[in-house]
Amino acid sequence: MTKYTSTAPEFKTVSLDDWQAAAAQSLKGKPLESLTWHTPEGIAVKPLYTAEDVAHLPHANTMPGFAPFIRGPQATMYAVRPWTIRQYAGFSTASESNAFYKKALAAGGQGVSVAFDLATHRGYDSDHPRVTGDVGKAGVAIDSVEDMKVLFGGIDLANVSVSMTMNGAVLPVLAAFVVAGEEQGVSQAQLSGTIQNDILKEFMVRNTYIYPPKPSMRIIGDIIEHTATQMPRFNSISISGYHMQEAGANQALELAFTLADGAEYVKTAVAKGLNVDDFSPRLSFFWAVGMNFYLEIAKMRAARLLWCRIMQGFGAVNPKSLMLRTHSQTSGWSLTEQDPHNNVVRTTVEAMAAVFGGTQSLHTNSFDEAIALPTDFSSRIARNTQLILQEETHITSVVDPWAGSYMMESLTQQMADKAWAIIEEVNAMGGMIKAVDSGWAKLKIEASAAEKQARIDSGKDVIVGVNKYKLATEDDVDTFEIDNVKVRDQQIAQLNTIKATRDGAAVAVALSALTQAADSGEGNLLALAIDAMRLRATVGEVSDALEHVYGRHRADTQKVTGVYAAAYDSAEGWDALKVEINQFGIDQGRRPRVMIAKLGQDGHDRGAKVVATAFADLGFDVDMGPLFQTPEECARQAIENDVHALGVSTLAAGHKTLVPAIIAELKLQGADDIIVFVGGVIPRKDYDFLYESGVKGIYGPGTPIPASAKDVLEHIKRALA
């Protein structure tokens, strides 16, 4: 019978040199450095970390709930209170969305997160001619207090926290929410939740702005001022890095630009005479959490370290002013159209990174969102992902489980150092407003996006089911579709009823007061917007009252060049295509010319910019249409620029309305020889409809850009033959 000793055996102390020698044997002649991974930010992630990597770190002995809050803003974190489970959603009409919110709350959701349609984001009522294809498509249509009352009907606003993603039309939307609460019997002081109200990132990436930067910052200051005194439970701004990462920013850019935006908002509030400790505790942040697992955790820990440093620089002393609290959302961009059930795994991994990073609330995306709006089935899986993490894994039992990890502590410091270097670069330019105004920040993000796409297209970055382990055939996935025409008709009928039954003279006086306040710089615009919305002014009318003074912002359309080609390392097919395009120019007397366009109010232009960059690097002449074009305006520009092909980039579910409209408009203007191709989020069941409408090529998410460029070139050749 074998006997076991009760004494612990002695082990030889192994040095780093010993490990390196053992690793060298496994590498069989390859250098040890080949095991080091270099992130897009330039951070070297080593295969092994030791105590030496953290010995010099100043934050090694910090505790949760204490400055600089690296280990979490609360001392006990999830061990006492898990993160809030949110479901970001908005469907067509207020009544449809209300039904979804009630179902989600009953199934374990703990807060409501509202997605508004693009017409609302851009301050247009549903009857405006520029938003024909956008009403109710990528969120809920809100035109008035009446819509907002329906949206939250039967939901107790005194006890349910509401998060609203709204920036451009923030004044009328927040005002409508306040009035809906009042008419439910809930005072402003009782309302809890968050309004995004982060306009600087809109000028960089998401583009749902209305007014130019300077007056937009005045609006933010007025909202911070009003909520600080009247709405103590409500977060006046959610400073968002999410959309930066979705637009292509790497984690260091997302971290740096978001914190720099936050510093600008603090400056704006202080300039209004507010004490920094009076409003800072109600500031919150919003991060994207993608598939870069270790760096996402490190990013969130580094964010708290740097925000504490920034706020101390403003003289804040209240610990609640120094702590960064955040909502997080799993990446939408990482979701794939191909083999979409893989997205359940991706979302789970990203949700774990958010939780390990210490988020206070979380939204998990549905697996079908790379194809269409989520179904009830996919939304339930997304919500249950969080419930399983909270209820089954015991992850919540330990505060900051990554603390003390040689790797994680080292990566946290490296992320902080990378981001701080970018923040110092921004400060040298005069702050984030200057960095945004100059276009520098936007171009940095677009260059990062082009580099990422090139790494995917060349196979350097693996996406399972897209560029590796691909299915021979794809199964159909049930998708959710909005009847845009029906929704718009309903909204217009409601608008007509409101205008017929309200006191029109009183509304006119209230709107005039808003215009005068915008012109004079005096008064609080949110307070005045609340007055107007009580009288049943509409979102569009309040927006117009300010537009009379501020105008509408028009962004310069720029594109980066050379970035995609430099990062694309599969030279054989790339170089052959460049030769073919060059030969086309010799044969035809000019290079193939394409125009890349966004139609309607969809401002998500990552895909459009990446395609424009890559096509230009291949040798196409590329024109970029301005954002927010109507089909008529787009057709006119394509004809004036004498393009061979027009590419429409679509993300917001308006393709069945807007793409046939542009094809009809080209025909009407005598230019139906211009080839139309489409890229973006399009359900496969809609492909036949688009082909029958006259589209020549459809390139969904995951299509390698060289492949789409080759196809477009062949269509142009056939059209000219």
- Report the catalytic residues: 88, 242-243, 598, 602, 604
Percent helix, percent strand, percent coil in the chain, to nearest 5 = 50, 10, 35
Which residue is associated with the tokens 């000019």? Answer: 590
DSSP letters along 230-280, please?
A: H-TTEESEEEE-HHHHHTT--HHHHHHHHHHHHHHHHHHHHHTT--HHHHG
CA–centroid distance for 524 within its chain: 29
Termini Cα distance of the chain: 88
User: What is the DSSP code (8-state) at residue 502?
Assistant: S
Name which of 138, 89, 102, 136 is nearest 365 in CA terms: 89
- Cβ neighbours, 10 Å, residue 57: 14
Distance between CA atoms of residues 275 and 286, nearest Å = 24
Token pair, residue 194, equals 């968050």
Cα 429 to Cα 107, 244, 423, 441, 509, distances in angstroms: 49, 20, 10, 11, 42
Name which of 107, 108, 103 is nearest 85 in CA terms: 108
Q: Side by side, which strands form the sheet with 697-699?
A: 621-624, 593-597, 645-650, 675-680, 697-699
State whether the Cα torsion 173-175-180-186 is positive or negative.
Answer: positive
Question: Cis bond leading into 68, ω under 30°?
Answer: yes
